[in-house]
Amino acid sequence: MVKIGVIGLGPIGSMHVDNLIAGKIPGAKLECICEQRPVTDAKYAGIKVYRDVDDMLKNADIDAAIVSTPSFTHFPLGKKVLESGRHVLVEKPVALCTADAEELAKAAESAGKLCAVMLNQRTTPLYARIRELVRGGGLGKINRVSWVMSNWYRPDIYFTSSPWRGTWKGEAGGALINQSIHNIDIIAWVFGLPESLRAWCKYGKYHNIEVEDEVSCVMQFGGDMSATFITSTGEHPGENRFVIAGDKGFAVASGGRLNLTRFKEGSLSEYTANTKYVFGCPETEESVEEFDGIGPQHVGVVSNFVAAIEGREPLDYSCREGELSLQLANAMLLSSWKNADVSLPIDGAEYKRALDEKIASSVLRENPKTDFIVDFKKSFR
Ligand SMILES: NC(=O)c1ccc[n+]([C@@H]2O[C@H](COP(=O)([O-])OP(=O)(O)OC[C@H]3O[C@@H](n4cnc5c(N)ncnc54)[C@H](O)[C@@H]3O)[C@@H](O)[C@H]2O)c1
């Protein structure tokens, strides 16, 4: 049995705790919780609760910890857990910048422990299918990708009820590093990282926040592939439409469906080069794949972490995997700040210096609003 301590009992930490208590994670046992606020919920009676991470790491009999505290604490707490000789799984984002993610990966290597990241949307069957199609060559050479992910709507209370959300100090970004980190992780997971990108961010356009709540980005990949990514936390209903234009097929993912158009007689480029019909188009075959589930999500990631600790599975969601979306999020912000193209991988030290300047004049909210209602299941898109 892998004995786990969960640090941070906000909405997501509570979900991890509840999943462990419900026995949803094979081979794992909830040993304790660490939460700096008083824990009064009766369902946690009987579970050892620490108020301080150092106290937990010194005294608790745990093999691993899940860090589900505010984003700016992931790196220092993750490192602390590793240095105490335990495995760690940190919530997304793995850190605020690639330089810190790199340091965390190195800390795990030198401690000989696992460092995992909550990349739960990789378990979404629709995205796994897209990856299989693209990587398996089912769509041929990919020419263009477009993902408009603008249904991450959040009202003001989402930010004002929290000390850290929507601030440079608390999360070093907004729509990119918090909500869309999942989508840009899928882009990197399916297509790899681009060679360069150019992004335009709007800061506090819809909300009274320091960070970005609307982003438009163009990416250039090797092999002449380009991609556009648009995200927003200010539109409603917005849309989630992921389009992939390949030489053998055209795929549109939207509303839990994958619409596939395949070219009956081979590739589009062959047809383009050889047809005699001036206004001709190739013959196509259409199919629709329906995906009615979101897959195992957080339970899947924690289960893999535990299985990797026990040596039953390789670690699928490592810190280095978590760095990919951070590369993209950091590069998009850097591009917007510099008003210029940015090459990837970014210079982590340069980004960290630029971020530190933002953080220097940023403040956590001193009196977050307390009159709010959380319906956490509605947060997932
Ligand atoms: N993977 C996902 O689907 C998903 C969903 C929601 C949030 N998240 C991530 O999880 C993190 C937490 O989000 P949240 O909405 O639950 O935040 P939150 O602010 O509502 O809750 C965080 C909790 O951690 C506690 N805490 C903070 N520092 C602590 C410390 N040093 N020791 C002990 N407890 C401490 C706070 O008191 C609070 O109860 C964020 O980084 C967010 O990006 C991930």
State the DSSP string of 163-228: SSTT-HHHHS-SIIIIITHHHHHHHHHHH---SEEEEEEEESSSSS-SSEEEEEEEEE-GGG-EEE
Contacts of 127 (CB under 8 A, 6+ apart): 121, 186, 189, 190
**325 closest CA partner among 181, 211, 196, 150:** 181
* pLDDT score for 15: 97
* pLDDT score for 375: 82
Looking at 37-46, 47-56, 238-247, which range is the least confident one?
Answer: 37-46
- Does the pLDDT of residue 381 top 80, yes or no? no
- Does the pLDDT of residue 371 top 90, yes or no? no
Mean pLDDT for the stretch of residues 308-326? 98
* pLDDT score for 265: 87
* pLDDT score for 379: 80
Element containing residue 143 per DSSP (H, E) = strand 142-149
- Does the pLDDT of residue 293 top 90, yes or no? no
Go through the domains of the chain in sequence order and give each one's CATH number: 2-120+296-317 (3.40.50.720), 122-293+325-360 (3.30.360.10)
For residue 93, cis peptide bond before it (omega within 30 degrees of 0): yes
Label residue 212 by pLDDT band (50, 70, 90).
Answer: very high
* pLDDT score for 48: 97
Structure tokens belonging to residue 189:
């997971």
Amino acid of residue 293? G
- Does the pLDDT of residue 158 top 80, yes or no? yes
What is the sign of the dihedral through the CA atoms of 98, 103, 104 and 110?
A: positive
Does the beta carbon of 34 sit less than 6 angstroms from any atom of ligand 1?
Answer: yes
Task: Give the residue, by CA position, lying nearest to ligand 1 atom 27.
Answer: 69
Does the beta carbon of 174 sit less than 6 angstroms from any atom of ligand 1?
Answer: no
Closest atom of ligand 1 relative to the 14 alpha carbon: 16
Mutate to test the pocket of ligand 1, among 12, 161, 380 (most ligand atoms within 8 A of CB): 12
Closest atom of ligand 1 relative to the 15 alpha carbon: 16
Across the chain, mean pLDDT equals 97
* pLDDT score for 292: 80
**176 closest CA partner among 348, 360, 337, 343:** 337
* pLDDT score for 144: 98
- Does the pLDDT of residue 129 top 90, yes or no? yes
* CA 325 to each of CA 183, 205, 228, 237, 329: distance values in angstroms, whole numbers, following the listed order: 8, 23, 15, 25, 6
Label residue 208 by pLDDT band (50, 70, 90).
Answer: very high
Please, are residues 177 and 190 in contact by the beta-carbon 8 Å criterion? no
**pTM for the full predicted model:** 0.97
Percent of the chain with pLDDT over 70: 100
How remote is the CA of residue 164 from the centroid of ligand 1, in Å?
Answer: 10
* pLDDT score for 376: 78
